Amino acid sequence: MAGKDFYKTLGVDKKASADEIKKAFRRKARQYHPDVKPDDKASEKKFKEVNEAYEVLGDEKKRREYDTYGEAFHHQGGGGAGGFPGGRAGGFDFNDLFSGAGGGGRNFSSRRGSVGGQGDASDIFANLFGGGGFQQGQAPGPRRGGNAEHRVEIDFAEAITGTELKLRVDSQQVNVKVPPGTVNDARLRLKGKGHPGVNNGPAGDLILTIKVCPDPIFTMQGRDLLCRVEVPLTTALLGGRIEVPTFSGKAMLKIKEGSQNGQKMRLRGKGVQVSGATAGDQIVELNIVLPTTLPPAARKLVEKLDELLV
């Protein structure tokens, strides 16, 4: 077929189904759309060619005319070789293809509804780009800006008590309040703090992923704090009091006689304080420390103890 090869323009076979043609058009339209590649003359030209091809191949009747008349299909006005008087053939108006100008032509973006069950290009643009039909020669409408994603790092203490961060996003300063009890890899979404919109469209969101640095003493489990403390063997056997660290200072913990290694004890209200909720607790795990060597006198006492406990 001489002249414009609409099948080649859309990248489909001449035996392609209507669904295959529509899918090919969607791919090409998205690739060359002016919103995707603004101020790109080559893409603009390809975009028009793709639409012209779909205006024909996407309509069952027009496609039959094109397959029948080939090159003559595109000769308008009867002046060119092989043209049809008045741009018509078999009741088909060739002036109404994609002209968008006078002489009874219509701009494709003003067409609604469907022809032969296929629908027109403007309907598909509405699905592709989330708005009304694209108007040739007109600026695209408002579009929402993209989301901005950032990863920030905070200390364990900041995760427990909460903190405020100052970030730069698209040349603007954004203040971020990190709430108390924020866990590692938590994600915070700030509405309207992402990339700016296009043509007065709304800004996108700022999505923060929080990296919490580990603490050498504490770990967080919900609103509770967990830590492990060493307890001398004699204290575990006889009972007593030991000093343990907390985020609000030191605290004294009473150890019961005969406490076991790995036993857990609770300090009420020494965990994470979250707004509108009761503070968590601090869970203390006991690590009984055994002596690595015994002097002779101590060894005799342990042997005597062993005899008494049998």
For 122-173, the pLDDT digits (tens) are 444 444 444 444 455 556 789 999 999 999 999 999 999 999 999 888 888 9
Mean pLDDT (whole number) for 176-183: 92
Fold of 6-129: Helix Hairpins (1.10.287)
3-state secondary structure of 172: strand
219-309 has which CATH code?
2.60.260.20
Give the model's pLDDT for residue 74.
Answer: 56
Whole-angstrom distance, CA of residue 272 vs CA of residue 159: 9
| DSSP-derived 3-state class of residue 163 | strand
DSSP 195-227: SPPBTTPPP--EEEEEEEPP-SS-EEETTEEEE
Same fold, 6-129 and 219-309: no
| Cα–chain center distance at 232 | 52
| Least confident span in 28-37, 148-157, 226-235 | 28-37
Average pLDDT value over all residues in the chain: 79
Percent of the chain topping pLDDT 70: 76
Number of CB atoms found within 10 A of residue 5's CB:
12
Q: Which of 246, 272, 270, 266 is nearest to 254 (CA)?
A: 266
Q: For 231-283, write each residue's pLDDT tens digit.
A: 999 999 999 999 999 988 899 999 999 999 999 999 999 999 888 888 999 99
Fold of the domain built from segment(s) 148-212: HSP40/DNAj peptide-binding domain (2.60.260)
β-strand pairing of 92-93 with 148-154? unpaired
Looking at residue 169, its pLDDT comes to: 81
The answer to whether residues 51 and 121 touch, using CB atoms and an 8 Å cutoff, is yes
Strand partners, 165: 176
Q: Measured between alpha carbons, how far is 129 from 124 in angstroms, rounded to an integer?
A: 9
Rounded CA separation 261/256 (Å) = 12
The band of 119, judged by pLDDT with boundaries at 50, 70 and 90, is very low
DSSP label at 79? -
Q: Which residues pair with 267 in a beta bridge?
A: 282
Q: Is the pTM of this model over 0.85?
A: no
- Side chain identity at 139, as an amino acid letter? A
- Domain coordinates in residue numbering, the chain: 6-129, 148-212, 219-309
The reported pLDDT for the residue numbered 30 is 82
Going by C-beta distance under 8 Å and a sequence separation of 6 or more, which residues neighbour residue 134? 33, 34, 35, 109, 122, 125, 140
